[in-house]
């Protein structure tokens, strides 16, 4: 998703998309250099909703001990960023149909990704 955003829009003084991949904590130095007013993580989130559902995920609801494709739970990373960079962190989640490595996106999830990309790349 972030790769498509990166190909459709350029970074600016107010918008700086970064791909965190499986270790988003590795982008904290880049974030620090940018001095963001807000950080938004876009990620798959198991919310018990139909595949492709897009919802804001409260950080308090992210279980730091659950299995994840990230090396550090987003809740812990978000808390670090909020304290270290003094800015709020939001998580925009998409309910996946499946979360196995190597699986292609289901059609509902693909539509959700397209909607998010359109929203973030509108000029």
In the block, tokens 């600016």 appear at 12
In the block, tokens 């989130």 appear at 45
Residues 84-123 have pLDDT tens digits of: 999 999 999 999 998 776 778 899 999 999 999 888 888 5
The end-to-end CA distance of the chain, in Å, is 18
Domain count, the chain: 1
Residues 39-72 have pLDDT tens digits of: 999 988 889 999 999 999 998 887 643 445 556 7
Residues 21-34 have pLDDT tens digits of: 888 888 999 999 99
Q: Is residue 67 part of a domain?
A: no
Q: Is residue 66 part of a domain?
A: no
pLDDT of residue 67: 41
Range of the domain at 94: 36-58+87-123
Nearest to 90 by CA among 74, 106, 113, 68: 74
Q: Is residue 45 part of a domain?
A: yes
């Amino acid at each position: 998703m972030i790769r498509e955003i990166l190909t459709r829009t350029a970074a600016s003084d107010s918008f700086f998309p970064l791909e965190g991949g499986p270790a988003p904590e590795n982008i904290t130095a880049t974030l620090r250099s940018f001095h963001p007013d807000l950080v938004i993580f876009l990620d798959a989130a198991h919310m018990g909703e139909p595949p492709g559902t897009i919802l804001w995920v409260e950080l308090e609801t992210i279980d730091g001990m659950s299995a994840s494709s990230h090396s550090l739970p987003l809740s812990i990373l978000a808390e670090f960023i909020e304290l270290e960079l003094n800015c709020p962190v939001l998580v925009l989640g998409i309910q996946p149909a499946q979360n196995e490595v190597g699986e292609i996106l289901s059609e509902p999830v693909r539509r959700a990704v397209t909607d998010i990309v359109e929203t973030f790349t509108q000029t």
